[in-house]
Amino acid sequence: MAEPIPLRDLPHFEKRLRARAAALRAEIRATLLRSDEESYAQLAGQVHDAEDEAVADLLVDVNLAEIDRDVGELRAIEAALGRVDAGTYGACLQCGTTIDRQRLEVEPQAERCIDCQRVHDRTTMGAPTPSL
């Protein structure tokens, strides 16, 4: 098994992960507030025909998709912070090799090296997205 990211580099990644988690929480909060303001009932009350109803449905779906995406990323970040605490951050969960630093700079919550991620993506293509 390869050695994870050096201890001296962990504060850099932990800071980035925590900053992104805070930003995601703010985005989720804003989307929820916007959803409350654009509640389906209000939109439906303004609907005058089938096309307007379709737009109202789309707006609700877009808000839910944004929240779902953000919650998924937040969960990945929290898992990465758990790996920081456990001392395993930067090690691929599949094969145990060290995840390339450049990959972690781009995606600090990455759980797999690029090779294992490619295999994972191929095997999960078309799999349903987990819900909230």
Domain boundaries, the chain: 7-124
Which ranges in the chain belong to alpha helices (H)? 10-37, 40-46, 50-86, 101-106, 114-124
Q: How far apart are CA 18 and CA 73, in angstroms?
A: 12
Asked whether the beta carbons of 84 and 14 are under 8 A apart, the reply is yes
Taking the C-alpha atoms of residue 24 and residue 22, their distance in angstroms, rounded to an integer, is: 5
pLDDT of residue 62: 78
- Please give the CATH topology (third level) of the domain spanning 7-124: Four Helix Bundle (Hemerythrin (Met), subunit A) (1.20.120)
Give the gyration radius of the chain's Cα atoms. Answer: 19
- The overall pTM is greater than 0.95: no
Residue type, 93: L
If we measure between CA atoms, which residue out of 83, 109, 90, 93 comes closest to residue 16?
109
pLDDT tens per residue across all 132 residues of the chain:
555 678 889 999 999 999 999 999 999 999 888 776 655 555 555 556 666 666 666 776 777 888 899 999 999 999 999 999 999 999 999 999 999 999 999 999 999 999 999 999 998 876 555 554
